[in-house]
A and B are shown apart, each in its own frame.
Chain A
Amino acid sequence: MNVLLLLAIILFVLMIVIGGRKGARSFISLFLNFLVVMFAVWIMTDPHTNPIILTIIACTIISSINLFYINQVNSKTITAFIATIVTIIILIIFIYIITKKAMIQGFGEEEVDEISIFSLYLGVDFVKVGAAVIIMSTIGAITDVSISITSPMREVFRHHPNISQKDLFFSGLTIGRDILGSNTNTLFFAFIGGYMGLLLWFKDLSYSFGQIANSKVFSAEMITIFCAGIGIALIVPIAAWINAFYLVKRREKANTT
């Protein structure tokens, strides 16, 4: 039997036992997200498509799965969704500039032996693919932070129906601050865990500090971690502001009619 299949079955059973119906939905969402990523990769192989626009579309679908399918469609998830998309667009511009400047796209010299049998001239712009990789690796965390902000903000609004937009915004910021650390940590360990082999490689072959800091694979990894952290921090004020704006506008509307 295949390890992956066995692990998937274990995870599925655990999710249903502990999470019930919601657990089943979480598992299905993982599967759907996998399909979206694979489909996006498949379209990216066509040189005429723009990987960045494709990524934004893929992120839109992924965040609708994470927000609307696992939770329901309601004002909390809708504002979280808008905040996610706004953050993604701002972030992807920044990431694209950094990827291009630092030239961290594609493969490093440590990887090139292994892929020497392949043709590297494909016509697909790997700078854009590189930016897509970074943004995709944070999309899960970004949707998580945005829903973790908008949903308690609704509770605050319900308990203080006359709160001003500014106060509501600041209460959103306070909520966001509390989850900032744990979310950056989650991504940090995930990336580090994936790159254990690389770190050991550097140590085993006694790379100098200068060689490590300038190598493509290491720079790409560090820049990914930092950009992921920037994304998580950026969504906090964006989600808080959009949600505060929306809730107060809705109250005004209800008052005038």
Chain B
Amino acid sequence: MKALIKTFKQLTYKQIIFYILLLLSVVGSLVFVYNNYAFYDRPIAKVIESQTEETTNVTDQYGNEDTMTIQNITAELKNGEQKKEHIQLKNEYSITGAYDQPLETGNELFVSIDKDSVGEKQLTGSITDIKRDKYIVVTAWIFILVLLLVGKRQGLFASVSLAINLIILSYALDLNVKTGMNLLWIAAVTVILFTVISLLLVNGFNEKTYAAILATLLGTFSSLLITYIAMTLTSDTGLHYEEMQFLTRPYRLVFLAGLFIGSLGAVMDVAITMSSAIFELYEKDHHISVKALKTSALDIGKDIMGTMTNILFFAYISGSMPMLILYLKNYSPLGFTLSMNLSLELARALAGGIGIVLTIPIGLYISIFFVNRKRAKL
């Protein structure tokens, strides 16, 4: 307790204001997101009672067994003209839950009200979707708070840079949709913005950062070029664009733009690691030979190569797991399942890996160039 009081006394006014603002925004946004029914046009209902009507065992043509349960739901409408009225809904769910879910008291749903039941004794309707916004906000706050708690100032910078990047991305996509500018050009400009902002924000204005920015851009652009050439040479054999969901436009362009942005974070990480290492070696010993710089930096590069490619690999591949299970349980042949669901993810992981590995020598030579320039000035 004494330690707690002591830490309180050590807080500066700036910190106190920061914590109060933080607390206010947490509480404010939570109160809002739990009571924002009026902001939605779609009717929202909160489950107040759910009863299991019947359960049946089903077996599909492949022998997969499941249990279907039908629930009778009474829910209270939270917005619109029928606010506070009760509505009768039906919900059917399976154990799998791939496209359905059990409901319990307190769940909030988007519903459509049956037109002919309006004005009758009992409103009826159907469930269209689940209200998920509050869970995003809750997880986002837990993320930010954990980041602040562990990372302090760096945690704050990390969350601020993520937020800025999200805003830039959303704005860039808007620009693309509204003006029809080429997606790849827009992606290229956003990549430059992302790199400059993220690296400057975390590492400040200095030569180390400039070297990293240059290395990141060269690394990403050359990995994209190599991938593009490889794709053209093989005329996209083995890439199954049909697995790309959510397509409203030329798929190849969308895929390339995604490739561009996807490997950027990893490449940035490699570039800043390389330039920090080289500049630190130089700061410790201003007379260090270029050869010694090269050897030690290359050793560091070798160390991070494996883990960095692994990070990208898992981030891309894991998302396909539910689809793989679905295909396999429907007795699709293994080869077909893998090529249908993993070709694009594997291409992304491999292209990202190429970017990571290329950035090691690129970052090395650019940083040494900057170090030499600095040395010449002395």
Contact residues of A with B, CB < 8 Å?
1-8, 10-11, 14-15, 18-20, 22-23, 25-26, 29-30, 33-34, 37-38, 41-42, 44-45, 47, 62, 66, 70-71, 98, 101-107, 109-112, 114-115, 118-127, 129-130, 132-134, 136-141, 143-144, 147, 173, 176-178, 180-201, 203-205, 208, 210, 213-217, 219, 222-223, 226-230, 233-234, 236-237
Q: Tell me which residues across on chain A come within 8 A of B327, comparing CB atoms.
A: 118
Instruction: Judge whether A140 and B140 touch: CB under 8 Å.
Output: no
Q: Is the CB of A126 within 8 A of B98?
A: yes
Min CB–CB distance A120 → chain B (angstroms): 5
Q: Are A18 and B39 in contact (CB under 8 A)?
A: no
Which residues does chain A contribute within 8 Å of B353, judged by CB atoms? 11, 15, 30
Question: Which of B174, B308, B322, B348 has its CB near the most chain A CB atoms (within 10 A)?
Answer: B322
Q: Does B236 contact A (CB under 8 A)?
A: yes
A206–chain B nearest beta-carbon distance, Å = 8
Tell whether, in the assembled complex, residue A229 and residue B311 are in contact, meaning their CB atoms are under 8 Å apart.
no
Q: Among B65, B236, B269, B352, which residue has its beta carbon within 8 angstroms of that of A3?
A: B236
The yes or no answer to B47 lying at the interface (CB within 8 A) is no
Q: Chain A residues near B221 (CB, 8 Å)?
A: none
Contact A7 B354 (CB under 8 A): yes
Instruction: Give the distance in Å from the alpha carbon of A107 to the alpha carbon of B351 in the complex.
Output: 27
**Are B313 and A23 touching (Cβ within 8 A)?**
no
The residue of chain A having its C-beta at the shortest distance from the C-beta of B61 within the complex is A119
Contacting A at CB under 8 A, from B194-230, are 194, 198, 202, 226-227, 230
- B245 contacts A114, CB within 8 Å? yes
- The reply to whether A193 and B158 contact each other, CB–CB distance below 8 Å, is no
Interface of A is mostly: helix
> Is the CB–CB distance between B263 and A193 below 8 Å?
yes
Is B272 on the interface with A (CB-CB < 8 A)? yes
Sorted nearest first, the 8 A-B pairs with minimum C-beta distance are A193-B262, A26-B306, A189-B265, A106-B98, A102-B135, A2-B238, A186-B265, A201-B246
> Contact between A201 and B132 (Cβ–Cβ < 8 Å)?
no
Q: Is the CB of A136 within 8 A of B361?
A: no
Are B265 and A187 in contact (CB-based, < 8 A)?
A: yes
Shortest Cβ distance from A105 into B: residue: B97
* Cα separation A37 to B345 with both chains bound (whole Å): 14
| CB-defined contacts of B122 to chain A, threshold 8 Å | none
CB distance from A152 to the nearest CB of B (A): 12
Q: Chain A residues with Cβ under 8 A from B371's Cβ?
A: none
- B30 adjacent to chain A (CB < 8 Å): no
Q: Please tell me which one of the listed residues B65, B161, B227 contacts residue A181 in the complex, with CB atoms under 8 A apart.
A: B161
Question: In the assembly, what is the distance between CA of A42 and CA of B360, in Å?
Answer: 36
Q: A189-B266, A193-B348 are in contact. List 11 more A-B contacts (CB 8 A).
A: A25-B306, A66-B306, A105-B101, A120-B96, A186-B311, A190-B263, A196-B261, A197-B258, A199-B170, A203-B174, A213-B136
Q: Is B83 located at the chain interface by the 8 A CB criterion? A: no
> B306 touches which one: A20, A29, A114, A138 (CB < 8 A)?
A29
Per-position 1/0 for B31-65, Cβ under 8 A of A: 00000000111100000000000000010111011
Whether the pair B315, A124 counts as a contact (CB closer than 8 A) is no
Most buried by A among B131, B157, B261, B321: B321
Asked if A204 contacts B177 (CB within 8 A), the reply is yes
A106 near B60 with CB under 8 A, answer no
CB-based nearest A residue for B174: A203
- B261→A45 contact, CB < 8 A: no
B132 and A214 form a contact (CB under 8 A): yes
- Report the bound CA distance from A178 to B153 in whole Å: 10
Known: A180-B147, A219-B136. A132 touches B237 (CB 8 A): no
A214 to B33, CA, bound (A): 12
Q: Which residues of B contact A210 (CB under 8 A)?
A: 39-42, 133
Chain B residues lying within 8 Å of A236, measured Cβ to Cβ, are 150-151
State how many angstroms separate the Cβ of B264 from the closest Cβ of chain A: 5
Whether, in the assembled complex, B188 has its beta carbon less than 8 Å from a beta carbon of chain A, the answer is: no
Question: Does any Cβ of A come within 8 Å of B248's Cβ?
Answer: yes
Q: How long is the Cα–Cα vector from A233 to B65 in the complex, in angstroms?
A: 40
A178 contacts across to B, CB distance below 8 A: 154
Instruction: Tell me, in angstroms, the Cα distance from A61 to B46 when the chains sit together.
Output: 43
Residue interface bits B290-312, CB-to-A below 8 A is 1, else 0: 00000000100111011111111
CB pair B321–A132 under 8 Å, yes or no, is yes
Q: A6–B39 Cα gap in the complex (Å)?
A: 51
Query: Among the listed A103, A122, A181, A223, which residue makes an inter-chain contact with B66, where contact means beta carbons less than 8 Å apart?
Result: A122
Report whether B150 and A177 are in contact in the complex, using a CB–CB cutoff of 8 Å. yes
B64 to chain A, nearest CB (A): 5
* A125, B95: Cβ atoms closer than 8 Å: yes
> Is B347 in the interface zone, CB < 8 Å from A?
yes
Is there an interface contact between A223 and B325, defined as CB atoms closer than 8 Å?
Answer: no
The answer on a CB contact under 8 Å between A194 and B319 is yes
Q: Which chain A residues border B22 with CB–CB below 8 Å?
A: none
User: How close is A84's CB to chain B, nearest CB, in angstroms?
Assistant: 12
Which of the residues A11, A115, A190, A230 comes within 8 Å of B354, measured between beta carbons? Answer: A11
A-B contact pairs, 17 of them (CB 8 A): A3-B230, A22-B306, A62-B314, A71-B303, A110-B245, A119-B64, A121-B94, A137-B315, A137-B319, A140-B313, A180-B158, A188-B265, A190-B311, A193-B262, A200-B249, A214-B133, A216-B129
Whether A226 lies near B139 (C-beta < 8 A) is: yes
By a CB distance below 8 angstroms, the chain B residues around A222 are 136, 139-140
Q: Nearest B residue to A132 by beta-carbon distance?
A: B321
Write the chain A residue with the least CB distance to B298: A18
- Which of A122, A143, A182, A198 contacts B325, CB < 8 Å? A122
